[in-house]
Chain A
Amino acid sequence: MPDIPQTRQSLLLELGRKSESAWVEFLQVYEGAIFRMCRSKGLQDADAQDVTQEVLAAVHARVATWDSDPDQGSFRGWLMRVARNISIDSVTNRARRSAGHGSGDSRVEQMLNEAPDPWQEDGSIFDLEYSRSMFAWAGEAVRGEVRSTTWKAFQLTSVQGLSAEDAAAQLGLTVGSVYTAKCRVVARIRAKIIQLEGGPSGPA
């Protein structure tokens, strides 16, 4: 994932303490999602990095409007909705432009224009990338919180699809503790995601 430390720093400096941790988590999840969406829309690496920065800056510009509206719900939830819209709009526009004059070939542009509902289609690309980013982020966080055998038991069963019996034999654990391990990891992942998406903040 490309790093954009300068953007991150300046954005963080401007944000108040209340939303700071929400914003850090937001960046951790969103940077990757936006970047991969750009790539899957055919943008080159450098362009994808540009767009990612633009989107994050545009989202940040909107953050200032947050406090003024009491109907917006939680900061996190609002941030996610705003970011989703801006991401889809910007990436789609940029992909269209670059297809238009980058290649001089209008076939790509035509294809983009012919899609039945480009916004909806890009929405689902974005949602897929977002989910992948979110689970990667939540998984990484949870992995740091549990014992390594707990994580392995979870990964062998819930991700790689081994039976609890096989995983138990491989790790030298009892079947009951494999169930315990995988359920505890999933419960923690769920708590992280709820927190990220605007549930009550603080330790889950």
Chain B
Amino acid sequence: MAPSTPCFDHELLHSYLTEELDESHEDRVQEHLENCSVCRKALEEVAGSSELWSEVRAHMADIPSAEESAPDEMLELVALLDRSDDPHKLGRIGSYEICGLIGRGTTGLVLKALESRLNRFVAIKLMSPAYQVNGSARRRFEREGRAVAAVSHEHVVPIHAVDDHRGLPYIVMKYIPGLSLAQRIERDGPLDSYEVARVGLQVAQGLAAAHGQGIVHRDVKPANVILEDTVERAMVTDFGLARVADEASMTHSGTISGTPHYMSPEQARGDLVDSRSDLFSLGSLLYAACTGRPPFRAENVFGVIHRVCKTEARSIRDINPAIDPILVALIEKLMAKPPQERFSSAETVGEA
């Protein structure tokens, strides 16, 4: 290759900058940039003239850096709670003594709590103040919560109660010691074929139980699958809450919350969704378990949505050749853009 001619043309580099390439092209360009200084230079020129680069440097030096003082999470949390008589607890919600913060999601906080009446640990999902709801939204939330509570299945996290605390809805669930699939992927990287198949089967069974009661999850993603510590068991959590939460927040801010990485195309477009939307999300979840990353990525929400709707994900075996082709074919079928080309139900996925 001649040293002064970039290996990619101007137009392609421009599409790369504006994230219009599909995943496999995008990855190829990025890998190429690791070693090709000619193309790095060309990319800089496509992004802006040398005057622009020096103006950026001259004018942006005094803009404060990205690290803003993060508010102290724990203080914020304690302020939300009632006072507890037990000095070893952070505080109290209803009759639950709060022991600690397990996680923080887009819709709220997940807390570990002691239910002293029954002397057991529970997990409490407390909606963030952005979801403070009025009477009718709260009743809907409770209704939805009760419907999910009626689903009893070994691969669905059981719900004990739904209530509200100072106007913030919360759900009391069984406390499952373990990591979420998202944490597991982050810690250990991709899973092997056997594990992916096991998680896939169990999640599909959990979804099938809920679908049987007319409940669509709407937010199937690695963070909503808990892998129990002691037994090899995957459990699905947060059923149906995505919609209730979104409706509450839409009335508040007019925006949709959460990550669209695992959404089905019909859901991303805002169309009506049925249980087959969960199957697409299950496919995306298994894709992430195989490769260590979500199938559709972009700099912002709209970019992700565009890719979910319009582009095919890079082939799994391209990224992780160790994955069994039969498993890959199953995931690809789950991730078919038209719902009718997916499996007809979560049950049939389990059988396959």
Which A residues fall within an 8 A CB radius of B? 131-132, 134-136, 139-140, 143, 145-148, 150-152, 155, 158-161, 164, 174-177, 179-180, 182-184, 186-187, 189-190
Query: B56 to A159, Cβ gap below 8 A?
Result: yes
CB < 8 Å neighbour of B17 from A136, A143, A150, A183: A183
Q: How many residues of B are in contact with the other chain, CB < 8 A?
A: 29
Contact A135/B56 with A146-B299, A183-B47 known, Cβ cut-off 8 Å: yes
Which residues of chain B from 20 to 60 have a CB within 8 Å of any chain A CB?
A: 30-35, 40, 43-44, 46-48, 52-53, 55-57, 59-60
Residues of B within 8 A of A140 (CB): 63
Min CB gap A151→B, angstroms: 5
The answer to the question of B61 belonging to the interface, with a C-beta cut-off of 8 Å to chain A, is yes
Closest A-chain residue to B34, C-beta based?
A176
Chain B, Cβ-Cβ closest to A203:
B302
Smallest beta-carbon distance A13→chain B, Å: 21
Cα A151 to Cα B16 with chains together (Å) = 17
Q: Identify B59's interface contact among A135, A145, A151, CB under 8 A.
A: A135
Q: Tell me if B18 counts as interface (CB < 8 A to partner A).
A: yes
**Interface contact A186-B53, CB-CB below 8 Å:** yes
Q: Is B66 a contact of A131 with CB atoms below 8 Å?
A: no
- Check if B65 is an interface residue, CB within 8 A of chain A: yes
Q: In this assembly, does B119 line the interface, its C-beta being within 8 Å of a C-beta of chain A? A: no
Show 6 residue pairs from A and B whose CB-CB distance is below 8 angstroms, ordered by the A residue: A132-B59, A134-B59, A145-B300, A147-B299, A175-B33, A184-B17
- Min CB distance B218 to A, Å, is 25
In the assembled complex, which residues on chain B have CB atoms less than 8 Å from the CB atom of A175? Answer: 33-34
Residue contact A187 to B18, C-beta cutoff 8 Å: yes
Please state if A183 and B44 are interface contacts (CB–CB under 8 Å): yes
The interface residues of chain A lying within 8 Å CB-to-CB of B30 are: 174, 176-177, 180
Q: How far apart are the CA atoms of A20 and B66 in the complex, in Å?
A: 30
A143 x B57 contact (CB < 8 A)? no
Please determine whether A159 and B40 come into contact, CB atoms closer than 8 angstroms: no
Known: A136-B59, A186-B48, A189-B56. A180 touches B33 (CB 8 A): yes
Residue among A131, A145, A148, A158 facing the most chain B CB atoms (10 A cut-off): A158
| Least distance between A82 CB and chain B CB atoms (Å) | 23
Closest to A190 in B: B48
C-alpha gap A136/B53 in the complex (Å): 14
Additional 19 contacts, C-beta under 8 A, given A158-B53, A189-B56: A132-B59, A135-B60, A139-B60, A146-B299, A146-B300, A147-B299, A152-B66, A155-B66, A176-B33, A177-B33, A182-B47, A183-B44, A183-B46, A184-B299, A186-B52, A187-B46, A187-B48, A190-B48, A190-B52
Interface residues of B in 243-300 (CB under 8 A from A): 299-300
CB distance from A48 to the nearest CB of B (A): 19
CB of A131 within 8 A of CB of B59, answer: yes
